[in-house]
Structure 1
Amino acid sequence: MNITGIITEYNPFHNGHLHHLSSARAVTGCDGVVCIMSGNFMQRGEPAIIDKWERTYMAIENGVDLVIELPTFYALSSAEHFAKGSLSILDSLGIINNIFFGSECGNVEDLVKIASVLTDEPLEFKNELKVNLNKGLTFAKSRELSLVKVLGDETLSEILQNSNNILGIEYIKAILSLNSKIKPITLKRKGSAYNDKNLASEFSSATSIRESLKNPNSSDELAKYMPPKSYEILKKLQENDYPFIFEEEMFKFIKYRIVSNCINFNNLLEISEGLDNKIIKEIYNSNSYEEFVLNIKSKRYTYTKISRLLTQIFIGLDIYNSKNLFNKDLLYARILGFNNKGREILKEMKKTSTIPLITKVPKNIDNPLLELDIAATKCYSLLNAKVHPFSDYLKGPIIKH
C-alpha cells in the first residue's frame, strides 16, 4: 500500500484541513491517510477547544483513515521536538511512504536545503552563527542570517519568517536525522494566517474559529468556514451544552501550583535561568491567564513558549524528568480512530511496526510517556465536565464502518 502521513491538531477541523486532506490524496495518489494528531493539549500551549475523541470523530467523518495520538509530551514541546516525535512514530510504523504538510512557501526543495544545513551544521555555518550571536542578535535572527550567507540566497530569509515553513523544516530535519525513507511533500498554504483572529475567507484559520466560539451565539456563522460534517458535530455538541475550552480556564489551577511551591522547574525542558523566578514573581501581579503571560513575555521569552511552559505546569510535566521521556524505547502508537480503510492499514501495521500499537490502554502502565497522556486527560477533565477523568480507560477507538 501507498500510505501518506499527515501531522495535525484539528482544533477544530475546518475547510483548510479538508483542502489539505483532499490535496494529500490527489498529489500522492495514496491508498490511505494516517494522521498523527495532538491530544487534549496543543503545541502552542493551550487546551484543545474540543476533546481528542470528538476531534478524532471529526477527522474520520471527513475522510482521514486512521488517527494516532501524538503523546502529550511531544504535543506540548517546541517545533523541533513536536516534529521529531511525530516523525519518529510515522517512521516506526514501517508503512508510511510520504508526509504531506502545508507551508507558506510551497517549495519543498528550499525547505530541504535549509533543513540539510541545520542537520549537518557545516563549519562555515557554525562560524557564521557564532559571529552573529556575538553581535548580540537573537538566536533565531543569527540562524537566519547564517543560513542566508551559507546558502547564498536572500530569498530564504522570508521563508524563515513563517511558522508553517519553520515546522516543515523541522519535519525534514527529523526525516534526515532518523535516516528515514519517508518522502516530504508540501502544499502551499491558502487563506488566513494560522494566528489570524478574524473570520476572513473560506479558508479561515482555526484561531479565528476558536475566537468566534467565545461568543455562544456565533456558531451559525461558522457553517461556511467548516466542512458540513465538522459543523454538524460542532452544532450537536453545542446543543448538548458541551463546553468549548480556552486557556483562561487553566489559570486558577496554574496559580495554585505556583503559589503552593510544588513545582520542580528543573524538570521542564524550556525553562531558562531566571525564568522560574519571573514566573513566581508575576503570578502575584496577574489577575488572568493572558495578563500573566504578557507580564512574563519579553524579547527572549515568546508568548507561545511561556504558554507551553504554563500548560506543562498545569498537567504536571515537572513531576517527570523531561530528558528521560525522549527515550525512543518509550514510543508507541495510540490508536484514536479508524474507518474500514484504516482497519486494513492497522492490520498491515501490526506486521511492520517496531513500536507497540495501543487500541486499549492497559490498567497497569510502566511507561512514563503514556502515564503523562493519562494525567493530561485527568487535567483536561478539570476544564471540561463532559470528559471523564478516566476516559482513556473507558473509551475505545472511534470506528466508522
Structure 2
Amino acid sequence: MNITGLITEYNPFHLGHLYHLQKAKIDTNCDGVICIMSGNFMQRGIPAIIDKWERANIAVANGVDLVIELPLVYSISSAEGFAHGACSILNSTGVVNSIYFGSESGNIEELKRISQVLIREPEDFKSNLKLQLDKGVPFHTARKIALKNCLHDICCEEIIGSSNNILAIEYIKSLSKLNSFIVPYTLKRQGANYNDSELNNIFSSATSIRNALKNSGSLKEIENTVSKETFSYLKKLKEEKYNFVFSDDMFQYVKYKILTLGETLNKVYDVKEGLDNKIIKEIANSKSIDELILNIKSKRYTYTRISRILTSFFLGLEKYDIDKLVHETPNYIRPLAFNETGSKILKEIKKKGDIEILTKLPKKLNDKYLEIDLLGTKAYSILNSSVSPYDDYLKSPTFFRKK
C-alpha cells in the first residue's frame, strides 16, 4: 500500500483541513491516509475545544483512514519536539511512504535547503549566528540573519518568520536525522493565517472558528467554514449539551496551582532565568490566561512558549524528565478511529512496523509516555465535563464500516 501521513491537530476539522486532505490524496496518489493527531492539548499550549476521540471520529468521517494519537509529551512541545515525535512515530510504523504538510512557502526545495543548513551548521552559518548572539540579538532573529547570509537567493527571514514554515522545516529536519525513506510534500496554505481571529470567506482559521463558537455559542456562524460532516458532528454534540473547552477554562486551576505550589515551577521543562518568579509575581494581577501570558512575555519568552509552560504545570509534568522523553520515541501507537482502509493499514503496520499497536491500555503501566497521556485526560476531564478521567481505559477506537 502507498500510505501518506498527515500531522494534525484538527481543533476543529475545517474546510482548510479538508482541502489539505483531498490534495494529499491527489498529489501523492496514495491508497490510504494515516493521520497522527494531537490528543487533548495542542502545540500552542491550549486545551482542545473537543476531546481527542470525537475529533478523531470527525476526521475519519471527513475521509482520513486511520487516526493515531500524538503523545502529549510531543503535542505540547516546541516545533522541533512536535515534529520529532510525529515523524519518528510515522517512520516506526514501517508503512508511510510520504508526509504531506501545509506551509506558507509552498516550495519544498527551499524548505529542504534551509533545513540542511540548520542540520549541518556550516562554518559561515555558525560564525554569523555567534556574531548576532554576541550583539544581544534574540536567537530566532539571529538565526534568520545567519541563514540569509548562507542562502542569498532565498527569502529566509520571511520563510522562517511563519509558523507553518517553521514546522515544515522541522519535519524535513526530523526525517533527515532519522535517515527516513519518507518523502516530504508541501502544500501552499490558502486563506486565513493560523492565528487569524476573524472568520474568513475562503478558509477560516481554527482560531477564528473557536473564537466564533466561544463568543456566540451558535453553530450557525461557522456553518460555512466547516464540512457537512464536521457540522453534523458539532450539531450532534451541541444537542447532547457537550462541554466545548476554551483556553480560559484552565485559568482558575493554573492560578490555584501557582499560588499553592509556585515553588515547583522551576522544575517545569523549559523554565529558565527566573521565569518562575515572574509568573508568581504576575498571577495575582491577571484575570485570564491571556492577560497572564501578555504580562510575562518578552523577546526571550514568546507567547506560545509561556503558554506551553503553564499547561505543563497544570498537567503536573514537572515530575517528569521531559527533555529526555521529547528526544526519544515511544514503542507503540494508539489508534483513536479508523475505517476499513485504516484497518488494512493497521494490518500492514503489524507486519512491517517496529512498533506495538495499543487498542486497549494495560492495567499496569510501565511507560512514561502513556502515564503522561493518562494525566492529560484526567486534567482535560476537569475542563470538560463530557469526558471521564478514565476514558483512556473506557474507550476503544471507533471503527467506521462502509455503509
Same fold (TM over 0.5): yes
The DSSP-based 3-state class of the residue aligned with 2:334 is strand
How far, CA to CA, are the matches of 2:80 and 2:233 in structure 1?
33
Q: Identify the residue that residue 107 of structure 1 maps to in structure 2.
A: 107
Structure 2 counterpart of 1:131: 131
- What letter matches 1:361 in structure 2? L
Determine the structure 2 residue equivalent to 1:252.
Answer: 252
Give 3-state SS (helix, strand or coil) of 1:328's partner.
Answer: coil
Structure 2 unaligned blocks of 5 or more: none
SS at match of 2:378: helix
Q: Is the 8 A contact 2:94 2:352 kept in 1?
A: yes
Partner of 1:171 in structure 2? 171
Structure 2 counterpart of 1:355: 355
- Per-residue CA deviations over 1:141-190 (Å, capped at 9, x if unaligned) read 11011111012225222111111111100000101111111100000110
Question: What SS class does the counterpart of residue 203 from structure 1 fall into?
Answer: coil
Partner of 1:383: 383
CA distance in 2, matches of 1:316, 1:90: 27
**Matches of 1:154 and 1:30, distance apart in 2:** 31
Kindly state the Cα deviation for residue 262 of structure 1 after the two structures are TM-superposed.
6.0
Tell me by how many angstroms 1:267 deviates.
Answer: 3.8
Equivalent pair of 1:268/1:321 in contact (CA under 8 Å): no
For the aligned residue pairs, the C-alpha RMSD in angstroms reads 1.2
Offset at 1:259?
Answer: 1.3
- Unaligned runs of at least 5 residues, structure 1: none
Deviation sequence 1:288-344 (CA, Å, 0-9, x none): 222111111122211111111111111111111212323636342111110000000
Q: Is the 8 A contact 2:5 2:98 kept in 1?
A: yes
Sort the Cα spacing of 1:217 and 1:72 in 2 relative to 1 into closer, same or farther, 3 A.
closer
TM-score, normalised relative to structure 2: 0.97
Letter in 1 for 2:90: L
Structure-2 residue corresponding to 1:211: 211
Rounded to whole Å, the distance in 2 between the matches of 1:235 and 1:297 is: 37
Q: Which residue does the alignment assign to 2:16?
A: 16
CA contact (8 A) 2:6 2:33 kept: yes
Contact map agreement 2:172 2:184 (CA 8 A) in 1: yes
Q: Is the 8 A contact 1:250 1:383 kept in 2?
A: yes
Which SS does the other structure have where 1:389 is aligned? Answer: coil
Q: 1:31 corresponds to which residue?
A: 31
Looking at structure 2, the residues matched to 6 and 170 of structure 1 have their Cα atoms a distance apart, in angstroms, of 14
Match of 2:190 in 1: 190
Aligned to 1:61: 61
2:128, 2:217 → 1: CA distance? 54
> What does residue range 250-399 of structure 1 map to in structure 2 within 5 Å?
250-261=250-261, 264-326=264-326, 328=328, 330-399=330-399
> In 2, Cα distance between the equivalents of 1:286 and 1:326?
31
The alignment-based identity, stated in percent, is 54
Contact 2:266 2:276 survives alignment (8 Å): no
Residue 35 of structure 1 aligns to a residue in which SS? Answer: strand
SS in 2 for 1:202: coil
Counterpart-to-counterpart distance in 2, 1:155 and 1:226: 33
Verify the 8 A CA contact 1:267 1:320 in the aligned structure 2.
Answer: no
Matched with 1:82 is 82
For residues 262 and 131 of structure 1, the distance between their equivalents in structure 2, rounded to whole angstroms, comes to 37
| 1:135 maps to amino acid | K
